[in-house]
Structure 1
Amino acid sequence: MVNIQNLSLTFGDQTLFERINLSLHKKEWVSLLGSSGVGKSTLLRLIAGINTPGSIQGQINVEPNVRIAWLPQKDTLYPWLSIVDNVQLYAVLYGKKSSKTIEQAKLLLDKVGMFSHLHKACSQLSGGQRQRVALARTLMQNADLILLDEPFSALDAISRHQLQNLAYELLQEKSVLLVTHDPQEALRLSQRILVLRSLHPNKSATLSAPLIPTGKAPRKFDQANLWELQQHLLQTLSAKEAG
């Protein structure tokens, strides 16, 4: 679906990351781990085709007619719009709102457990509820590839766990690239995990070899091997160049 070849991004005389090679396949959930500032969100922006400053080398090849949607960490709901209109935002912005899009938005809100809150203003929703609305809006786009940029990181533990399960259930037929700081989240949800890391403060970041957890997602952490993999990921994230 997406094939990235030898991708490098440079700002002035500083290279953020270099020689990134990554393929994203249909109906696969891939997680990308890395420390703050290493370039994870920037890589998502490049895949999404969002204009990004800097000098870009390499290629990002996306199959024809592949539609891409983005779910960011902040829900970016418009407070002056109703919950339904936030879900059908594309139709609202482009004058395509209709009884059909309204019903579709309500159906998706029902799927994410928000139908009983339709009468509320966005300001009355909790953080978890706002992310549920944002997830419904992402589903409304009917995209093939979903880019998730730490969408659960600001939530409390219970809401985060619930939203992880819900997102996995609703996105099973999609391709997903999840950026996260949380090794446990990556292990619960992913078929493949990669770490974007710099082995030295003054060197550019590169991708690690993939880690492939066994078992069906979303996984429960009652398996000893998952704790071992989590420790391995933590060591990979904190690894430094010798000397």
Structure 2
Amino acid sequence: MPDTEAPEAAAKLVCRSVWKFFGPDAERLGKAADAGTLRSDQLAGATAVAAVRDVSLSIREGECFVIMGLSGSGKSTLVRCMSRLVEPSAGEILFDGENLLAASDRRMIEIRRRHMGMVFQNFALLPHLTVLGNVAFPLEVQGVARARREARAMEMIGLVGLSGREHFFPRELSGGQQQRVGIARSLAVEPDLWFLDEPFSALDPLIRREMQDEFMRLQSVLKKTIVFITHDFDEAIRLGDRIAIMKDGAVVQVGTPEEIVLAPATDYVSEFTRNVTRAKVVKVAALSSPADGTTGGDTVGEVSDRATIAEAAPLFGQAGTRLLVKDRDGSIVGVLERERVSAMMMQG
């Protein structure tokens, strides 16, 4: 299903009819796809595998765009195509309006080094370097002077909550701390586009939840354009502004978490969402009323417009009837009424 919700003019990254084939027929099928002459019977009879099938997406500046699907759905291959770590067989990929498929190898190295950050499931830390050395390493590759790169690295180490551990080696850190180093390293180059490929899936559940909280905190501060891959639907609806669900290499639905849960486009998407509690998905912003400019005696607190209804419900306590709703900048944008929350919770 093409993504028609994000105007390309406002998009940071755009994919147009992207295909990726693997196997003996890959080149022939790629040429047919680029020419617009690829037929379904050609795919059915080919020895090549279509790992990515005719994907069109527009990812907005500053949003966390989650790509999810089961193992083998093509999500990791698609993200590697976006950065040309894997060469697409057909289509177009535009980054800030520049066609990456027309870029030279030298230009792509420059774009990855200076404009893209990447975090993978495997932390890939350099074992002989300290936390400081690992975080500063991408800047060293860029030729940044030592004093400047170490100052930037220390700033990022503090941002991810590892101050005091800058001289530790990776073996001296826990799994969650190692992942924080990987995140700090990817942020050191101040990327315009941040790719995260199942970064928390190897962590224990409690550490994973902690890292999700940390990720949400970082995004509230940095407001990066993020492409986040996961196979965990709970993680997708917690972190994503919009979600693309993939199956067999194709995108079957794109939408907000609320849209995915409340209006699944296919039976496959319905299976993903069948056991999801609505209150855990619907955001406060969707249920809030316009602010009237006063706090009122029955206002018991405040809540982020990105929090879910399930997260907001306990904040009412015993007597309060409404919460002030604030956006990422801390501005009051609405009021959440207890009555509306109760009605949503009753729906299960």
Structure 1 length-normalised TM: 0.83
Please give the secondary structure, in 2, of the residue aligned with 1:9.
strand
Please give the secondary structure, in 2, of the residue aligned with 1:209.
strand
> In the alignment, which of 188, 197, 209 is matched to residue 253 of structure 2?
209
Alignment of 1:108-147 (within 5 A): 108-147=156-195
The aligned amino acid for 2:240 is S
221 and 70 in structure 1: CA distance in 2 versus 1, 3 angstrom threshold: farther
Q: For residue 189 of structure 1, what is the aligned residue in structure 2? A: 239
**How far apart, in 2, do the equivalents of 1:115 and 1:47 lie?**
33
Q: Are 1:37 and 2:72 an aligned pair?
A: yes
The CA deviation at 1:108 is 1.2
Conservation of the 8 A alpha-carbon contact between 2:52 and 2:78: no
Asked which structure has the greater RCO (Cα within 8 Å, sep 6+), the reply is: 1
**How far apart, in 1, do the equivalents of 2:247 and 2:216 lie?**
26
Q: Are 1:85 and 2:139 an aligned pair?
A: no
The aligned amino acid for 2:54 is R
Number of equivalences: 220
The aligned amino acid for 2:14 is N
Q: For residue 7 of structure 1, what is the aligned residue in structure 2? A: 18
Conservation of the 8 A alpha-carbon contact between 1:3 and 1:61: yes
Q: For residue 150 of structure 1, what is the aligned residue in structure 2? A: 198
**How far apart, in 2, do the equivalents of 1:171 and 1:34 lie?**
23
**How far apart, in 2, do the equivalents of 1:91 and 1:49 lie?**
21
The CA deviation at 1:131 is 0.4
**How far apart, in 1, do the equivalents of 2:93 and 2:224 lie?**
19
Alignment of 1:157-196 (within 5 A): 157-172=205-220, 173-196=223-246
Please give the secondary structure, in 2, of the residue aligned with 1:133.
helix
Please give the secondary structure, in 2, of the residue aligned with 1:120.
coil
CA RMSD of aligned residues (A): 2.4
| Structure 1: 5+ residue stretches without partners | 199-204, 230-243
**How far apart, in 2, do the equivalents of 1:188 and 1:180 lie?**
11
| Structure 2: 5+ residue stretches without partners | 1-11, 24-47, 99-110, 258-281, 284-304, 314-340
Q: For residue 71 of structure 1, what is the aligned residue in structure 2? A: 119
Conservation of the 8 A alpha-carbon contact between 1:188 and 1:217: no
**How far apart, in 1, do the equivalents of 2:63 and 2:186 lie?**
17
Tell me whether 89-98 or 115-124 shows the greater mean CA deviation.
89-98
